Chains A and B, each alone.
Chain A
């Protein structure tokens, strides 16, 4: 937690990242509290993935700083990585290993006690028994997404960063996974940061939404609050309004 405010899991201050002349993120400030689920929303190139990479310490900001559980993510990330986890369909697990082998390796990397027992729990919870013994290269996209989610939940993280967590899942499985994430958060009080293009998912899971455009947070609020503020039918309409360079309303 942040040393000045023990409730703050993430404190991002003045974050900026440029790649040469290209500004990916600038003037990004936000906090995430324990037990809170926050969505990063924005069109392609809005800066969500760059922001998430800086939260994870995989990317060093050009300006500003990120503190997670009070640790500076440029220099002190190894103090807190064991309390975090991450899932993204754009970052693979080794395809020659089976799902169980991958989870075993990561279970040891996270220093779990009772790795096999924890994996068995997740196999039951995420209904992976039918394919956990198969190499990742033979799994469908949806099955791979479930394994990636299981890897992200292995260490019962206090901070979970999810990039498109239910991408490639059929509606029934996606709904089940969202239910599981809700229960996980209820049981553990974890903070979740979510980047998703599924607005129904965001409305259901998230307490707060950060709307990004051209590398900046242009608006934020609760899903219901943003819908009301923009006078739209749902969050998707708000997203489209902002993503298409619509006026950002004050207040």
Chain B
């Protein structure tokens, strides 16, 4: 019989990470710091291009919206991977898995923490864009929620895959947290349209959820239309990748049980 995940145990794991965040104001500050710095940097780039690029001039918020949405993907990935690696840094995996916590509950708690971390990271930058650069990203309206959810879920997929590899290969693989997401950045078409890529890379880009999201964002900003085809493409791909990433994590967990890694992990 398959038992439903326990909300209480998922809540307990969330509480565990909230305790860390609550105590560590530098961590909270750091969460919001990078997106804000990105915003400032790309805000000035936008200002410059407004006078030199007709493409940017057509939709003033395109670069700033892109950078904020990219940060959602980036933070979402880190939210999963760093929360998991935190357990390894603190040599806590052995304790966790002799408790009734099930691996799927750990996955769900990691994704929920990722959601919270992403909100904390992205919200200040999103609001600061208005007074600093006169860009109100919420003017994207409901499509913004669709972009946010799809990028959040893609970040979970990358974060779970990275966590699975770190579980299998140890903390030597922790830099994948940062490397993994930048591997997909060139084919995510964050700042340029899909057709910029050579045809064979367009195939790769279309196989990942990020490119249709950013294409969809540009469709809203330039043409004022929400492209449902791109939305369903991203959502469908995310469903496939989330299933695969969760399966990979569960598989690596079983391998860790075979190899005795759960009691050995740590710095």
A109 to chain B, nearest CB (A): 4
Given A96-B20, A108-B11, do A58 and B90 touch, yes or no (CB 8 Å)?
Answer: no
When distances are taken between beta carbons in the complex, the residues of chain A under 8 Å from B24 are 96
What interface size band does chain A fall in?
35 or more
User: Chain A interface: which of B68-76, B133-141, B204-212, B259-267?
Assistant: B259-267
Task: Tell me which residues from 89 to 142 in chain B have a Cβ below 8 Å from any Cβ of chain A.
Answer: 90-92, 94-102
Decide if B8 is an interface residue (CB 8 Å cutoff). yes
A66 to chain B, nearest CB (A): 13
Contacting pair B8 A59 (CB below 8 A): no
For A96, list chain B residues within 8 Å (CB).
19-20, 23-24, 90
Partner of A110, one of B16, B100, B102, B263: B100
Determine the chain B residues whose CB is within 8 A of the CB of A98 once the complex forms.
19
B29 at the interface (CB under 8 A from A): no
| A-contacting residues, B225-262, CB 8 Å | 254, 257-260, 262
Can you name 10 A-B pairs with beta carbons within 8 Å?
A: A19-B259, A57-B98, A57-B257, A59-B262, A81-B99, A105-B16, A108-B11, A108-B12, A111-B8, A111-B9
Q: Are A97 and B20 in contact (CB under 8 A)?
A: yes
Taking a contact as CB atoms under 8 Å apart, the answer to whether B19 and A105 are in contact is yes
Q: Contacts A91-B91, A93-B92, A111-B6: A59 and B99 contacting too (C-beta < 8 A)?
A: no
B201 in the interface, Cβ–Cβ < 8 Å? Answer: no
A160→B199 CA distance, assembly (Å):
61
Closest CB in chain B relative to A245 CB, distance in Å: 26
A6 at the interface (CB under 8 A from B): no
Across the interface, name the chain A residue whose C-beta is closest to B24.
Answer: A96
Is A56 an interface position by the 8 A CB rule?
yes
Residues of A within 8 A of B (CB): 17, 19, 49-50, 53, 56-60, 78, 81-82, 84-86, 88, 90-98, 101, 104-106, 108-111, 135, 151
- Please tell me if the beta carbons of B98 and A109 are within 8 angstroms of each other in the complex: no
B15 beta carbon closer than 8 Å to chain A: yes
Given the known interface contacts A92-B90, A104-B15, the answer about A78 and B98 at a Cβ–Cβ threshold of 8 Å is no
Chain A residues near B266 (CB-CB < 8 A): 92
The complex places the Cα of A16 from the Cα of B257 at a distance, in Å, of 14
Q: Is A58 touching B263 in the complex (CB atoms < 8 A)?
A: yes
Most buried by B among A81, A82, A95, A108: A108
Partner of A101, one of B3, B19, B92, B94: B19
**Cα-based distance from A82 to B101 in the complex (angstroms):** 9
